């Protein structure tokens, strides 16, 4: 039989085996399913190349239907045996797509594979994207090794374990996963999912694959852009003998060579670039990179890669520490991204699904995303690199600070995260701890990360337990952003979490008893509340000087319904263009017609007693009213600028003001600037033009709609009358009128698919339904 005939026969046998295995697997149903679940192909599961920054042509995907069975401690390796069930790899055991949809602390996986004859003479590497949590891999009954850690990649050279007398090689994987019953980096997983804790994830959850490599090969690339020097610092670590081996690297911009360099393996090489194009969210330019190993003039190994030239740092701008991208202050604004799927849990059903959340993040007008206590497959970061999204990358948290051995393991996984993901230009910030979860030795651990990767900025702790180390002071403020921290002499400040505006979408919730921090009834109301939060952030951007903010969150997750998109990704709650317009709030400008007292001191007539009927009309006699400076309220009210103390239940205000010759276009863009606590009514020339219950926590621009446009009298003296009622807590009222003068260019608006004139919205802040979760274990940190 010829070599070609043998290969065809082997392929047919493999195909028959795959079809037989696939027939034993069936998709199960979760409370919610995405549209991509039906596109999962058990014979071609997640077929995309899993390592986009170090690509070789030859590889074999081992995703698909494997044998599976639950295990127990002390089990013998089931070599040569048939396991009791089947599972679709790489979907977690508990997921619906896996076909198991059960939790087991210990499990076994098994399949066979064949090595193509064309790989003869190569070393064979077996790669695992991630296995949660402890795994031991056996090839033909021999242990290849034990790995601990649920999020980092690992590989084994299995060449010596292959049986050359057999076509089918046996692969078995043993998994043990204690989830949150032990102090391990598990993120949001919980054996009893509820509230902010989600379904446990066990086992293989990223692509498993084989790769042939030469006897001396590129093991790892280390790529660090140096914008100041217009070069890429790179090194190529090799596996095998380096005698007589040289490294050749060449960079390409749009197919044209942009620079090249030669050097020794493991040596830091500086690849100079002519007039480098810089990577940013608005211009996510990526260079292609080819790295070759050469010996005696011949190429013995070659990998394809890419890189982005960008610089991230914290430096002072006008006396305040800011986050700078490529030397410019860029306000980092993005959502919290948990990375969970109702049908695949940790694993997106398809690569299209994986990219969907990032596409929507861009469509919502965000320039950043915070990957929350989870590490994604390399392809997720690849899409961030390609699409232009900065990433704040969390280390998955432990749920308690653990013992010495558990801390050592945590730090090993932390170092692996930084090492595994360090080449992605999208990642600009590492988050070491979140909200005190498992927090310990904060200063030392943070400084270790800063030393390991001096090219990025680092947050020691996002929320709660800051230890004045790293580059960022990070607040968590629910629901609206409030009580902002100022930048310090050596750190910038951000709001690492805020928002959580919930909205129920019947038929698209994981459970009926879902929750959020505050509620909206409709997408339009969600947009208005979101807009009010952004306006507050715009003020905090200037004073005290926030550099970024993270909105909770991009999608619903299990019992949480505070996503902009439902958990099944089938309903986008607000209009993305409206959210995108709000996210450009800091670019909007206004011309004041009637300034607020916070902008320019204003004198008002006021009464604390009910003035009776007709008080809002221009002809009303207010000569007996008192006169004082705005705003009116009490000093303890957030955002108040007190000119006159008002501490009774009601206040009535009147004022005359002049309006110039407004154009029709300016009238169309009329808007209130208002801070009210609590219920307010506003009249202009006797007509009710605005009313709102509840309160704001700062000044907001609010459109009153057609009523104000009809009531205003250009070129004449106008009368504004205001009634505010206070029930409990702080109290304050101040009102102004302006029109928007923003002149967006095509780049800032057209790419998002909207025009500025499309957006005149009122704002409502509903502070009800605030949920506070207090967990007993939160006090378990050794640092108190």
Residues 6+ apart with CB under 8 A from 712: 659, 662, 667, 670, 684, 685, 718, 737
Ordered alpha helix ranges (H), 743-783: 746-749
pLDDT at residue 11 in the model: 42
Stretch 392-399: mean pLDDT: 97
- pLDDT over threshold 80, residue 134: yes
- pLDDT over threshold 90, residue 15: no
Domain residue ranges of the chain, discontinuous segments joined by +: 3-209, 217-307, 590-741
pLDDT tens-digit profile of 730-751? 999 999 999 988 764 433 332 2
pLDDT tens-digit profile of 228-239? 999 999 999 999
pLDDT tens-digit profile of 170-202? 999 999 999 999 999 999 999 999 999 999 999
pLDDT tens-digit profile of 648-697? 999 999 999 999 999 999 999 999 999 999 999 999 999 999 999 988 88
Stretch 332-355: mean pLDDT: 98
pLDDT tens-digit profile of 49-66? 999 999 999 999 999 999
* Cβ–Cβ under 8 Å, residues 72 and 106: yes
Q: Any idea which of 96-110, 153-167, 378-392, 736-750 has the lowest mean pLDDT?
A: 736-750
Q: How far, in Å, CA of 732 to CA of 722, rounded?
A: 12
Predicted TM-score (pTM) above 0.75? yes
Q: How far, in Å, CA of 466 to CA of 443, rounded?
A: 10
- pLDDT over threshold 50, residue 760: no
CATH number assigned to the domain covering 3-209: 2.60.120.260
Burial class (CB in 10 A: 0-12, 13-18, 19+), 549: buried
pLDDT at residue 147 in the model: 98
* Cβ–Cβ under 8 Å, residues 155 and 128: yes
pLDDT at residue 23 in the model: 55
pLDDT at residue 512 in the model: 92
pLDDT at residue 652 in the model: 98
pLDDT at residue 137 in the model: 98
Give the CA dihedral 293, 298, 300, 304, nearest 10 degrees.
Answer: 60
* Cβ–Cβ under 8 Å, residues 398 and 185: yes
pLDDT at residue 40 in the model: 98
pLDDT at residue 705 in the model: 84
Q: Which residue's entry shows tokens 């380096």?
A: 242
At residue 577 the predicted structure's pLDDT band, cuts being 50, 70 and 90, is: very high
- pLDDT over threshold 70, residue 604: yes
Domains 217-307 and 590-741 share a fold: no
How many helices (H) and strands (E) would you count in the chain? 10, 46
pLDDT at residue 59 in the model: 98
What tokens does 367 get?
Answer: 């320039």
Residues 6+ apart with CB under 8 A from 750: none
pLDDT at residue 743 in the model: 66
Q: Tell me the CA distances in angstroms from 481 to 469, 678, 695, one per residue in order.
A: 23, 18, 14
Q: The CATH number of 217-307 is which of 3.40.190.80, 3.40.50.720, 2.60.40.10, 3.90.650.10?
A: 2.60.40.10
pLDDT at residue 13 in the model: 40
Rounded to 5 degrees, what are φ and ψ at 526? Answer: -60, -45
- pLDDT over threshold 70, residue 262: yes
Q: Any idea which of 290-294, 482-486, 753-757 has the lowest mean pLDDT?
A: 753-757
Q: Which residue's entry shows tokens 């005190």?
A: 436
Chain centroid, CA 73 distance in Å: 37
pLDDT at residue 10 in the model: 42
Q: What topology is assigned to 590-741 in CATH? A: Jelly Rolls (2.60.120)
* Cβ–Cβ under 8 Å, residues 96 and 74: no
pLDDT at residue 17 in the model: 43
pLDDT tens-digit profile of 435-449? 999 999 999 999 999
Burial class (CB in 10 A: 0-12, 13-18, 19+), 784: exposed
Burial class (CB in 10 A: 0-12, 13-18, 19+), 707: middle
* Cβ–Cβ under 8 Å, residues 730 and 633: yes
pLDDT at residue 755 in the model: 26
Kindly write down the DSSP assignment for every residue of 570-634, as one continuous string: --B-S-HHHHHHHHTGGG--EEEEE--TTTS--EEEEESS---TTTTSTT---TTSEEEESPEE-
Rounded to 5 degrees, what are φ and ψ at 355? Answer: -75, -25
* Cβ–Cβ under 8 Å, residues 239 and 219: yes
Average pLDDT, the chain: 91
At residue 24 the predicted structure's pLDDT band, cuts being 50, 70 and 90, is: confident
At residue 586 the predicted structure's pLDDT band, cuts being 50, 70 and 90, is: confident
Q: How far, in Å, CA of 654 to CA of 625, rounded?
A: 9
């Amino acid at each position: 039989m010829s070599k070609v005939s043998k290969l065809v026969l082997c392929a047919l046998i493999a195909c028959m085996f795959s079809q037989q295995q696939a027939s034993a697997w069936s998709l199960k149903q979760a409370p919610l399913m995405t549209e991509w679940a039906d596109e999962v192909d058990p014979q071609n599961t997640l077929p995309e190349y899993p390592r986009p920054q170090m690509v070789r042509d030859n590889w074999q995907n081992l995703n698909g239907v494997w044998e599976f069975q639950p295990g127990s401690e002390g089990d013998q390796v089931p070599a040569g045996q048939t396991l009791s069930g089947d599972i679709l790899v790489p979907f977690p055991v508990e997921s619906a797509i896996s076909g198991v949809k059960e939790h087991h602390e210990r499990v076994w996986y098994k399949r066979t594979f064949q090595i193509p004859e064309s790989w003869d003479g190569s070393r064979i590497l077996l790669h695992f994207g991630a296995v949660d949590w402890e795994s031991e891999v056996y090839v033909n009954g021999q242990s290849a090794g034990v790995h601990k850690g649920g999020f980092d990649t690992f590989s084994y050279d299995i060449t010596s374990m292959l049986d050359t007398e057999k076509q089918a090689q046996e692969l078995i994987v043993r998994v043990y996963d204690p989830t949150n019953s032990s102090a391990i980096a598990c993120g949001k997983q919980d054996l009893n999912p509820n509230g902010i804790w989600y379904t446990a994830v066990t086992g293989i959850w990223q692509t498993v694959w084989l790769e042939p490599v030469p006897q001396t090969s590129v093991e790892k690339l280390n790529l660090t852009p140096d914008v100041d020097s217009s070069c890429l610092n790179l090194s190529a670590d090799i596996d095998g003998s380096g005698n007589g081996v040289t490294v050749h690297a060449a960079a390409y911009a749009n197919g044209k060579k942009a620079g090249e360099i030669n050097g020794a393996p493991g040596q830091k090489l500086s690849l100079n670039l002519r007039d480098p194009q810089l990577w940013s969210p608005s211009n996510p330019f990526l260079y292609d990179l080819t790295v070759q190993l050469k010996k005696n003039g011949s190429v013995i190994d070659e990998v394809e890669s890419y890189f982005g030239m960008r610089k991230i740092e914290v430096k002072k701008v006008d006396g305040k520490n800011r986050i700078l991208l490529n030397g410019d202050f860029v306000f980092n604004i993005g959502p919290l991204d948990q990375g969970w799927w109702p049908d695949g849990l940790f694993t997106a059903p398809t690569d299209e699904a994986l990219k969907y959340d990032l596409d929507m993040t861009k469509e919502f007008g965000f320039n950043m995303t915070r990957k929350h206590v989870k590490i994604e497959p390399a392809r997720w970061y690849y899409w961030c690199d390609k699409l232009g999204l900065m990433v704040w990358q969390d280390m998955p948290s432990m749920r308690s600070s653990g013992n010495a051995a558990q801390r050592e393991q945590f730090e090993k996984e932390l170092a692996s995260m930084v090492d595994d993901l360090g080449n992605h230009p999208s990642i600009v910030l590492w988050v070491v701890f979140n909200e005190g979860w498992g927090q310990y030795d904060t200063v030392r651990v943070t400084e270790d990360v800063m030393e390991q990767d001096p090219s990025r900025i680092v947050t020691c702790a996002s929320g709660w337990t800051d230890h004045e180390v790293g580059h960022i002071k990070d607040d968590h403020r629910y629901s609206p952003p409030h009580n902002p921290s100022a930048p310090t002499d050596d750190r910038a400040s951000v709001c690492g979490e805020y928002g959580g505006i919930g909205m129920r979408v019947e038929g698209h919730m994981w459970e009926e008893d879902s929750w959020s921090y505050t509620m909206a009834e409709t997408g339009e109301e969600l947009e208005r509340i979101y807009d009010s939060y952004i306006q507050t952030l715009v003020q905090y951007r200037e004073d005290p000087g926030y550099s970024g903010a993270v909105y909770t969150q991009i999608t619903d997750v299990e019992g949480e319904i505070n996503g902009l998109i439902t958990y099944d990704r089938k309903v986008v709650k607000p209009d993305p263009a409206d959210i995108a317009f709000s996210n450009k709030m800091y670019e909007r400008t206004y011309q004041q017609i009637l300034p607020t007292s916070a902008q320019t001191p204003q004198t008002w007539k006021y009464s604390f007693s009910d003035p009776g009927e007709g008080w809002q009309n221009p002809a009303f006699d207010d000569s007996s009213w008192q006169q004082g400076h705005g705003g009116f309220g009490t000093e303890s009210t957030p955002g108040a600028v007190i000119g006159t103390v008002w501490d009774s239940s009601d206040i009535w205000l009147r004022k005359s003001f002049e309006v110039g010759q407004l154009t029709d276009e300016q009238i169309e863009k009329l808007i209130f600037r208002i801070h009210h606590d609590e219920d307010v009514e506003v009249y202009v020339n006797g007509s009710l033009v605005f009313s709102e219950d509840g309160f704001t926590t700062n000044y907001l621009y609010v459109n009153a709609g057609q009523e104000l446009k009809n009531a205003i009298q250009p070129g004449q003296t106008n009368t504004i009358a205001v009634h505010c009622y206070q029930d409990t807590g702080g109290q304050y009222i101040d009102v102004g009128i302006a029109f928007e003068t923003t002149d967006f260019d095509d780049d800032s608006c057209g790419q998002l698919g909207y025009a500025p004139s499309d957006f005149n919205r009122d704002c409502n802040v509903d502070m009800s339904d605030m949920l506070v979760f207090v967990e007993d274990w939160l006090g378990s940190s050794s640092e108190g």
